[in-house]
Structure 1
């Protein structure tokens, strides 16, 4: 059965006429009120992440859930319960995420999926593949092919600096790896029609043909056959394939921003036709631009975000000058009415990066009731981000070209195939019983 809904991605002009939020893999424009994520769940046909799911993740992993999950930053999913069933039954799965290299430096928003993927790799102890879509950036942007390829290796350093385990992580450039990927890509391409791609992505006859074929390339890493060096087929597997075509017992979990979901609706639609498990997905909300949630963050705009190359002074200046405040226009107004946290960018950034729940709650209570001023909140954020970015820069400096080549080399990964898990109740569940 096809994933629902398979609505076409309308042009910016069409959606503006209807005054609807625009959320596509290439455009995010939600108007003055920001993205309505509940509406987006209904539109895309995914499921909200519930407290029950969070408790189950804790039971299965025997670790606290990431603060991104507790705070609703990762808010939507597809088939997470099935993925957890697999893990409990001792069946294998792997992680897949990606990056489109279009700029020399990544910004804070680009870090979100990698920070969360690092958590997933740690708690589940599973292999990870990271697709660098240098081909996509060549097709969509005014970027020379060799420059896109070079940026892959530059951006890979920022990804590696997040702390991924090299023995369990394979980063690959589409330009370099396509020969290995191509068999799976072809199977997908043969099973998806142009009308389907037009319907989901809104492509037109005037678009280059590379855009029509790219969804199959982004879909391919969702299937284990794309990585024979990681998941080699045994003689027993080949015997089984004569009857069932696939092993059909390796799932994929894709952490990504919600705007990437259309690619994987197509992927999940085609998976059963090819004998694969549908990939599970877990979606994040968007990281707001400094100017507010109704503005698009851009790698080409120096003032829309904090970049991983920014100096402490640049970070301080950007937050003080450009971070949209929901606080009162005057000190008196702030003390009387408090801040509107729903639109306050400094507070929202703290929700992403301040891990201490007690400290964040203290800021929330004081700032929303006027006991704390905007300058104080901005100051707390500046201190946090200056330290965080400086530490990232220090880790990145230590990454050699040889290490990058090793991460991007086609090689066996070192991981233990899972066994059936003994799941114990979480502390949250036990507390509820009491």
Structure 2
């Protein structure tokens, strides 16, 4: 599973984009001439539209067939644009970019992806069914979109249980705080609903997409698993698995992969994921591997042969294309569609329109950072919504909507009233940027230190326990 904020593959040149657009236009025409399946045509058209947006971003001009870009075109640096810019956000499993300092427009994304907004009614219903106060990620709209969550709750009320599935693409040894978001929320769901959880470590995906050896990818899986286990998951209800290990050890899992592969065409994955003729065949077949954990009989040691147990997937919304594909295929191979809960993206320190990068130590707070490093990073790099001078700030106040320190507090500060007071004080000018950063530093330092202490207790033997296929303590 790719990271919440994935590293991009790098900008393409104007001519490469132009040639790709020509080829994709030809693909759309061929599909229409052949009267292909509507889903295939729609997927191909969506990719064509996305490429046109990319082309305009890079060249500043609209794409016109037969008019290649001038060699003198200067590629746009996609730097921060003015507040409220109307450019279409780029959101896919490998790239997240926006021109808006407030971050991605999630309401537009819901419309584009065809998911449903998590409204107050759903939050209240989760509280009623679980008997617990909703997690702060739900209360604050950090998990903001869903697919079929009402259906999951309907079944749960009738004493028909479900299971959780989330994942991590282990591309480096150290994880940052943004990587924790799906796991913190998934642990809460596991605790309040008392259900099993499977966590997929897509080390195979990272090998296919990155310049890493298989051995490195597998080692990162084990190191990342330690950070995940340190979130407090129950070993009796949690199975963590490496694709590189589990695919070869579970005939049932691999059979589901093959079933999905048979029902998705090359044109569909090109349309959904933007794959090109020069991508390796491993990338093209990988989405089926991310789909397989959505089906309960992929884990016979946990669920026996049951294939009708509903799956709920908490993940960042950039992962949704994988599961739109999965939900399309599921009924055709006799399985229930997985339900989803989508989170917003965790912003980089430099601002919500930039991506966090595992290769840039200053783009986020890493789980290995010392208290001093945390303090220096926040003070030096956290994008501020404050004014240029103290006098100006006192008079006009700051903008909490674009201030990264405030954004981070919405993720990590538990007290709603305290958070609201900080926002009011900052907006009125009573609270200065330096004071806001100090509050964030004092929130993050103990949180990271406690995580590091818990991680120290996670031995290789503990990891092996979590990653051994076995029955979990649960009766369906």
Q: Which runs of 5+ in 2 are unaligned?
A: 1-37, 63-86
2:112 paired residue number:
43
1:244 paired residue number:
none
Q: Which moved more, 1:13-22 or 1:57-66?
A: 13-22
Q: 1:297 aligns with which of 356, 364, 374?
A: 356
- Partners of 2:159 and 2:39 lie apart in 1 by 28
- Partners of 1:15 and 1:123 lie apart in 2 by 47
2:338 paired residue number:
279
Q: 2:234 aligns with which of 160, 165, 186?
A: 165
- Partners of 1:23 and 1:31 lie apart in 2 by 12
2:300 paired residue number:
228
1:197 paired residue number:
269
2:256 paired residue number:
184
TM-score (norm. length: structure 1): 0.91
Structure 1 residues 4 and 293: alpha-carbon distance in aligned structure 2, compared to 1, 3 A threshold: farther
1:379 paired residue number:
438
- How far apart are 1:91 and its partner, in Å? 1.3
Q: Is the 8 A contact 1:15 1:22 kept in 2?
A: no
Structure 1 residues 3 and 355: alpha-carbon distance in aligned structure 2, compared to 1, 3 A threshold: farther
Q: Is the 8 A contact 2:40 2:268 kept in 1?
A: no
Q: Are residue 347 (structure 1) and residue 406 (structure 2) matched?
A: yes
- How far apart are 1:61 and its partner, in Å? 0.4
Runs of 4+ off more than 6 Å = 1-5
2:378 paired residue number:
319
- How far apart are 1:166 and its partner, in Å? 0.3
- How far apart are 1:352 and its partner, in Å? 0.3
- Partners of 2:319 and 2:228 lie apart in 1 by 19
Q: 2:424 aligns with which of 350, 361, 365?
A: 365
1:68 paired residue number:
137
Q: Is the 8 A contact 1:187 1:274 kept in 2?
A: yes
- Partners of 2:180 and 2:407 lie apart in 1 by 15
- Partners of 1:261 and 1:318 lie apart in 2 by 31
- How far apart are 1:8 and its partner, in Å? 2.7
Q: Is the 8 A contact 1:2 1:269 kept in 2?
A: no
Q: Is the 8 A contact 1:15 1:21 kept in 2?
A: no
Q: 1:218 aligns with which of 249, 271, 290?
A: 290
TM-score (norm. length: structure 2): 0.83
- How far apart are 1:90 and its partner, in Å? 1.3
Q: Is the 8 A contact 2:40 2:267 kept in 1?
A: no
Q: Is the 8 A contact 1:257 1:286 kept in 2?
A: yes
- Partners of 1:79 and 1:5 lie apart in 2 by 23
1:98 paired residue number:
167
Q: 1:258 aligns with which of 317, 328, 341?
A: 317
> What are the Cα deviations for residues 350-374 of structure 1, in whole angstroms up to 9, with x where unaligned?
0000001121111111111111111
1:29 paired residue number:
97
Q: Are residue 152 (structure 1) and residue 191 (structure 2) matched?
A: no
- Partners of 1:15 and 1:80 lie apart in 2 by 37
| Secondary structure of 2:444 counterpart | helix
- Partners of 2:42 and 2:89 lie apart in 1 by 17
Q: Which runs of 5+ in 1 are unaligned?
A: 234-246, 418-434
Q: Is the 8 A contact 1:91 1:249 kept in 2?
A: no
Structure 1 residues 23 and 90: alpha-carbon distance in aligned structure 2, compared to 1, 3 A threshold: same
Q: 2:244 aligns with which of 167, 175, 179?
A: 175
Q: Is the 8 A contact 2:40 2:271 kept in 1?
A: no
1:328 paired residue number:
387
- How far apart are 1:16 and its partner, in Å? 2.1
Q: Are residue 394 (structure 1) and residue 457 (structure 2) matched?
A: no
| Secondary structure of 2:441 counterpart | helix
Q: Is the 8 A contact 1:4 1:44 kept in 2?
A: no
- How far apart are 1:415 and its partner, in Å? 1.6
- Partners of 2:202 and 2:163 lie apart in 1 by 19
> What are the Cα deviations for residues 124-156 of structure 1, in whole angstroms up to 9, with x where unaligned?
100000000000000001011110001000000
Q: Is the 8 A contact 1:3 1:266 kept in 2?
A: no
